[in-house]
Amino acid sequence: MSHFSHGRDFAVEPHPVDLTARPDLAAALDAVNRDLAATLPEAGPMRLMCTPSDDEDIPDQFHAALPDGRRHGGVTDPAAFGIAEAAQETVQAVLWQVWPVCLEHRTGVHADAGANDRAVWWCRAGEGHQLCEVGELAQTLPGRQRRALRRKEREREG
């Protein structure tokens, strides 16, 4: 007897999400990857994966996978700040990194919905403040780091 016989989800492999059909998710993933490139380049670019549910009462699970395929956890709603949340889970559980960080308070920040439901990084220190929109993390870096990053980008573009 196999213990797999009781598991309903072992055979369901995650597959890459077709982003051509979901430009909103493509944009959200791009934003997260921009932030990774700026502050944690070894973790990106990430890919969006989906584990479909075979039960209509259980939603599909979306995961953010590292370039080598490793991933952890997932979200049921990848829209808005869902992908950012999924990326954080993977970074935390697989790479053991707190990401991203508010440099002012030296603490990890959280994906959340900001004004107009845009995805933002929210710092809970003190009274709480919005660090930036997801995708704009480079703007929060000190000038020297930001300039080095721009230099690297220019080199990549050739």
Binding residues for Zn ion, rule: CB under 5 A, are: 102, 104-105, 123, 125
Nearer to Zn ion (CB atom), residue 24 or residue 104: 104
Nearer to Zn ion (CB atom), residue 33 or residue 140: 140
In contact, 30 and 54? CB cutoff 8 Å: no
Residue 50 CB, shortest distance to Zn ion, in Å, is 33
Distances (CA, A) of 42 to 6, 75, 95, 146: 38, 22, 10, 17
Residue 131 CB, shortest distance to Zn ion, in Å, is 6
Residue 122 CB, shortest distance to Zn ion, in Å, is 9
Assigned token pair, 156? 């990549």
Assigned token pair, 110? 């959280």
Amino acid at 98: V
Nearer to Zn ion (CB atom), residue 113 or residue 125: 125
Nearer to Zn ion (CB atom), residue 94 or residue 103: 103
Query: E-assigned strands of 17-140?
Result: 47-51, 61-65, 101-102, 107-108, 110-113, 119-123, 129-133
CA distance 114 to 7: 38
Nearer to Zn ion (CB atom), residue 61 or residue 140: 140
Residue 153 CB, shortest distance to Zn ion, in Å, is 26
> Dihedral sign, CA of 95, 29, 141, 44?
positive
Residue 52 CB, shortest distance to Zn ion, in Å, is 38
